[in-house]
A and B are shown apart, each in its own frame.
Chain A
Amino acid sequence: MATVTTEAAGEYGADAAASAPGMPQLNFDHWGNQIFWLLITLAVIYFVLSRIALPRIAAVLAERQGTITNDLAKAEELKRQAGEAEQAYDKALADARAEAQNIIAEAKAEIAAELKVATDKADAEIAARTAESEKAISEIRAGALDNVKEVARDTAEALVTALGGRADSAAIDAAVAERTKG
């Protein structure tokens, strides 16, 4: 390795001829210049930050925080509403089911009642018709018996007359009644 040459004052060139050997940082001739510009720089940055940038960023951050909080509250509210809507829906569904059950039961009862009425009515009618028919039959039967008696009496009278006797209607009636009894 070649020797590492340390800086000599002459190496700096004409600009820094006055600077001390070694560190330019220790050249106190330049401190005034640096401090002057540093103070100006700091003043400008401080002014820009404190008057413009920091209030603006603070406002933006606060606004964003506000928006987020609002949105969260809104989301919470919407969630609550959705929950309520769901509950209302469930309740409505349950109510509707119960009502449907009631209606079905009512309809069943009604139909059963109507059916019973109709059946009873039909039964009564059938009974009435049966009674009527029986009556008609018995009338017919009675009518037939009277006819038989009439025919028998007429025939007996004719027979008695034909045999030369004189028809005694009372005796004939008694005889016919006697024969047709059984």
Chain B
Amino acid sequence: MAVEAQGAEEGGLVFHPMDQFIVKPLFGGSEVGMFTITNVTLWMFLAVLAVVALMVLGTSRRAIIPSRTQSVGELAYGFVYKMVEDVAGKDALAFFPYIMTLFMFIVFANFLGLIPMSFTTTSHFAVTVVLALLVFVTVTVVGFVKNGSKFLGLFWVASAPLALRPVLAVIEVISYFVRPVSHSIRLAGNLMAGHAVIKVFAGFAAIAVVSPISVVAITAMYGLEILVSFIQAYVFTILTCVYLKDALHPSH
């Protein structure tokens, strides 16, 4: 889809590891406007379909003894539910649907991105920055609504010596505002790097002698990427829970 032809089109080795990330209109034209239907639209739509298939169609029989799909759906539910409960506490369960939405979207976008020729929506900073900012804004608003000005106690380390507290407060404030940056760059960076490395290995496959090594390397990278896809979704979700815990219980 978004992937250009690789390899020796002009005689030598030509690498286009980043071409897979180009946003393109789906139905011709070259302008990408706000509402243009692009490959982003397609792959996000597929992610929605996958979520619906697993969580709605898969559980439609409401069986006491679950089918395989229902089992996986319940597993995902239990996984995130327990994470929210354990990390952020019982009172964070009101945010469970929101966190579940983030997790399901990221995990499916990541895995759909592993399909050859597909487009990885979560490898784009535009996407992850919005996701991270949504979390950041939610957490900050919830923190102030629930705790009022006590939420600022998050930055005032009461257990530290008084002389150190202003310094620590500055560090805490900086780290608080860096959160959305690291939160978003971690996800997009991991996916982008992995996919780009696979493309680079694929580029080397144009040399006949190197191609077996290239294939083995791509296979290995692909396995690693499967891990990364899940782990990054997990990391994003659990960090959201951690931030939410800070908002609900700001004391150190």
A contact set with B: CB distance below 8 Å:
1-5, 7, 11-17, 19, 22-27, 29-42, 44-46, 48-50, 52-54, 56-61, 63-64, 67
Contacts and interface: CB of A to CB of B under 8 A. Distances in A.
Contacts of A32: 33-34
A152 B64 CA distance: 129
A33 B40 contact: yes
B47 A7 contact: no
B44 A48 contact: no
Given A16-B24, A49-B104, A57-B55, 18 more contacts: A11-B16, A23-B21, A24-B23, A25-B192, A30-B38, A33-B40, A34-B126, A36-B35, A37-B40, A37-B41, A38-B127, A39-B130, A42-B102, A42-B105, A49-B101, A57-B74, A63-B62, A64-B64
B13, B78, B126: most-surrounded residue (chain A CB, <10 A): B126
Given A54-B100, A64-B64, A67-B64, A35 B126 contact: yes
Contact of A60 (B17, B25, B63): B63
B181 interface: no
B97 A41 contact: no
A1 B12 CA distance: 10
Q: Is the interface of B mostly helix, strand, loop or mixed?
A: helix
A52 B56 contact: yes
A32 B48 CA distance: 20
A2 B40 CA distance: 33
Contacts of B127: 34-35, 38
Contacts of A17: 30
A41 B22 contact: no
10 contacts: A4-B200, A7-B16, A25-B123, A30-B23, A32-B33, A33-B38, A33-B40, A38-B44, A53-B56, A57-B59
